[in-house]
Amino acid sequence: VWLLETEKIPVMRGQWFIDGTWQPLEEEESNLIEQEHLNRFKGQQLQESFDMEVSKPVDGKEAIHSLKLSRNHVDWHSVDEVYLYSDATTSKIARTVTQKLGFSKASSSGTRLHRGYVEEATLEDKPPQTSHIVFVVHGIGQKMDQGRIIKNTAMMRDTARKIEEKYFSNLATHVEFLPVEWRSKLTLDGDTVDSITPDKVRGLRDMLNSSAMDIMYYTSPLYRDELVKGLQQELNRLYTLFCSRNPEFEEKGGKVSIVSHSLGCVITYDIMTGWNPVRLYEQLLQKEEEELEDRWISYEEQHLLEELYVTRQRLREIEERLYGLKASTISKPPVLKFKVENFFCMGSPLAVFLALRGIRPGHSGSQDHILPRTICNRLLNIFHPTDPVAYRLEPLILKHYSNISPVQIHWYNTANPLPYEHMKPSFLNPTKEPTSVTESESVSAVPSPTTSPVMVRRHYGESITNIGKASILGAASIGKGLGGMLFSRFGRSSTSTPQTLETGKDGAEGDDKKATSAGSPPLPHSSSGFLEPTVELEHRIDFELREGLVESRYWSAVTSHTAYWSSLDIALFLLTFMYKQDQEDPDKSNLDSI
């Protein structure tokens, strides 16, 4: 049980359970019934067959023993036929009427009780071996609702259990989801922000201070390191604690994945890659040196630059010698105590942070362009199409993927879905965005993400996602730290004009090529709408939940960012990738449809 340190929840052993629901009785009543049962029937044998018809009423049998409780009474018809009756006036009247009509007391108003749970325990009963642990990292707003990540992780765990029972029941191992609560232990500015907050609309201001303020803290040079260290230390603490309680996990090659939400994706990424603003400053200095080499400068300026260059070289040599001395005496521990197998981002603004740091599309389809596979084997970006905080990562690797649809996540109940690695890239289908709710939005709304029939694809470049884009860009710009010079300099960095690709068989080559703008080269495609072989990603990264037919986009923009936790579609998606090695085993026929 993973709880906050301040919470204490008693764990009790159930003795008497209600037939049908198998819910335990209250502890006080259960203890009284247990004591009476042992005094009266100790030593008598139960029926040999445990799989008896437990719901069959005892018509015509007289009670051989009774016990009066405060609001109820219990009748024993035999050692294993026990009924609970309410002594409320309405229950007594109903019992009298039904008995006069010929029904027995037990069948008319009694609730059958069972001693012990529905299944007998055996020596072999034990939790399945955990082969994969998933750390679930929260984003903003945890200060506003402490413990929310524990509840969200519990929802994700319960949903994953249902999927495991349906598709992965033949496996002897399972995936365990563990919440990572890193925000509540941080002090940051103390109560300084609260003290400068005006009193008018205080509730709204407090909500913003407890949620959106986390973005400002992270973009602040003063508090960024505290947030990074808070999450890093909590991840390592939980991993160490888990391994101490499961010593065979590392010995048998247990794997670790991370599921991060919202701002948690950015912090987790920076921990894994070791990124910090100083690196951006060093890149700026290097860029300035390159620009100076390309322009004419005076003799005096050149002489000063040479002295500056020599001084910097000397400074770097001294720093390297100093670090070498420290490394020889103190071995620096790794940032994380484990290798990350899969990094799942949900509702993530990571792409816009990387863009503001100067990441631009390259010419290779490798994930290494933004996250080296030596650090993390697989990066997967999950989002709902109307989530205003979510951004795509693929166009940061290959620019033309901005015109290619994200991979559609399968509904959990889809029969024989096509494996994700076999799904071909397809073009987006831009259509005019409706200008008002009444044009195409239904009044009824379904919580998102949903598993309703999919809508016709729309281009989301002009959708309500722009609202989120403006808010995230605005918040991220608050803590530029080194001034607007850094980001604006990289923002103006020139990009090479992409080469014009060959058109398809049906496309004209002459005037059409001239009419094509440099920023949007024509992409080769077939009449089916799928891409012909060209520069492609080694693995797809962007995965999109399906919109529902009756789903209001404007309502989804409000709810979609926090609606990932209980989605069966996402649960199946996560487990599909984490159980991938087992799925490739030909003996696992149960998984052929995933």
Name residues whose C-beta falls within 8 Å of residue 218's C-beta, 6 or more positions apart in sequence.
224, 227, 263, 266, 267, 479
DSSP summary character for residue 48: S
Q: Distance (Å, rounded) from C-alpha 158 to C-alpha 164? A: 10
C-alpha angle with apex 376: 373 to 382, nearest 5 degrees?
110
* Catalytic, out of 262, 552, 560, 567: 262
Q: What token pair was written down for 418?
A: 């096509």
What is the rounded CA–CA span in Å between residue 246 and residue 127? 12
What are the residues facing 72 on neighbouring strands? 86
Q: How far is CA 277 from CA 356, 402, 481, in A?
A: 11, 27, 8
Q: Are 210 and 143 in contact (CB under 8 A)?
A: yes
262 is catalytic: yes
Alpha-carbon span 150 to 133, nearest angstrom: 15
d(CA 74, CA 354): 67
* CA dist., res. 528 & res. 407, Å (int): 16
Peptide bond into 179 cis (omega under 30): no
Helix (H) or strand (E) holding 294: helix 277-294
Encoded amino acid at 145, one letter: D
Q: Residue 16's beta-bridge partner residues?
A: 115
The residues assigned a catalytic role are 262
